[in-house]
Amino acid sequence: MKGNNYSILRGVRAFSPLLQAYEAGYTIEEIKSSVFEALAPEFENAAMLDRYGIDLLTVEAVNIAKIRNSDWASSLFDQCLRIRRLYLANDPDDCAKTCASWEEPIGKALSLYWSAVRFEHEKADLPLDEFAYELFRNIGGLIEGTLQVYLKELLHLAQRSQGESVAFADVDSLGLGKVVQMVGEKAGIAPYLALPPWNVPLNQWRNIAQHYSMDSSGSSIVCRYGSKQQHSIALTRPEMLEVARALFLLFSTIRTAQTLFALDHADALVVHCKGFVRKEADTQFQFVVGAASQGFEVVELDVSEDCARAVLADVTLQDADARSIHASQFVYPLWIATRSQLLIIDYRAKSGNVTLRTTATADDCRKVYDCTEDLSYLATVVCFEPNPKA
């Protein structure tokens, strides 16, 4: 992989299992059937699944499988969904307004999370002290930058559903410790936020990471927490990994409940959503994930104001001629993601050779975007170059 967006290209495999599924020989029809089978029981309106891209749904199907494989995560997921569904049933408009108020904060929190994922690196060979430092840096970032926002949103929903007149600013201004305490009580999820068997409150894991309150002792790391009354817990390297996995599963459970609820009830919730401007790295990452959903790995991505070029490597065993035409259709999504003046898609066959180059202009893409032309118009104006020299 290369290009001026290497971290985006590398990060897509951490996000999307689709590339591995295609490489294993599964077809898009087989993947879609399996994904729908996994997600349909989690939806009240299963017909909504037809509206969404397989890239998005595959990620959520994998998350659901992991959640349902854990008793405590499964119970937490059901409770988070129960709160949302009850609120929507009792006061649809107020529920939609409350959800919409957290649209942008959640979007920004997820952006931070995926930035961390894209820059993640292997830790197994690090000395114990460095391993602990890196792992707790990840833990602190996850809790402070992302999970905290989801907990605040869930607290706000629980409070409003119980008749409390609480504004967004009231919840958003709360510190993490208070959020953990209140959402535990209001949403009935307190036991899950202490992460048994360690029974250390979620905010204290953040504090350990934030203040680097730890020392090595033999083969263990001793972590200290608590301002008034000091506590300590000793963790070996494998135990630290278990803490990290449990925290990630906690985050995944709460986030997945929020996401599936939004997908399931989009028609009712969208009325108050206003949208927000996303970062360039996020839109480009979405482009790469979208290509993966169709069996293409973006192995090069170079973006400037003048030109954006993506090399799409085929990971399937399907007919190369048909696949090259399929790849050419990504010129428009590439423009959406970059807004460059010239768009180039190079299709790389399983042989390793680029067998088709497709070039489009921003002016032509903008005509489709502005609805002055339909998408089929691009097929008449793009330039196709078989077996380009460079």
Q: What is the mean pLDDT of residues 133-152?
A: 94
Whether residue 254 has pLDDT greater than 90: yes
For residues 56 and 282, what is the distance between their CA atoms, to the nearest angstrom? Answer: 14
Contacts (Cβ under 8 Å, ≥6 apart) of 387: 353, 354, 355, 356
- Decide: helix, strand or coil at residue 371: coil
User: How many residues in the chain?
Assistant: 390
Distances (CA, A) of 264 to 41, 252, 254, 312, 373: 11, 18, 16, 32, 32
Distances (CA, A) of 79 to 72, 84, 184, 260: 11, 9, 11, 13
Task: Report pTM.
Answer: 0.80
DSSP code of residue 13: H
Whether residue 67 has pLDDT greater than 80: yes
pLDDT tens-digit map of 317-369: 889 999 999 999 999 999 999 999 999 999 999 999 999 999 999 999 999 99
CA atoms within 13 A on the CB side of 341: 3
**Residue 135 pLDDT grade (very low, low, confident, very high; cuts 50, 70, 90):** very high
Whether residue 174 has pLDDT greater than 70: yes
Whether residue 15 has pLDDT greater than 60: no
Please name which of 263, 242, 230, 219 lies closest in space to residue 84, comparing C-alpha atoms. Answer: 263
pLDDT of 113: 83
pLDDT tens-digit map of 50-62: 998 887 888 889 8
Whether residue 4 has pLDDT greater than 60: no
For residues 270 and 147, what is the distance between their CA atoms, to the nearest angstrom? Answer: 23
Whether residue 105 has pLDDT greater than 90: yes
Whether residue 169 has pLDDT greater than 90: yes
Give residue limits of the domains in the chain.
1-41+277-390, 70-272
pLDDT of 11: 54
What order of strands is seen across the sheet that includes strand 220-225? Answer: 214-217, 220-225, 231-236
Q: What is the mean pLDDT of residues 256-264?
A: 96
pLDDT of 326: 93
Query: What's the angle, vertex CA 174, arms to CA 182 and CA 191, rounded to 5?
Result: 25
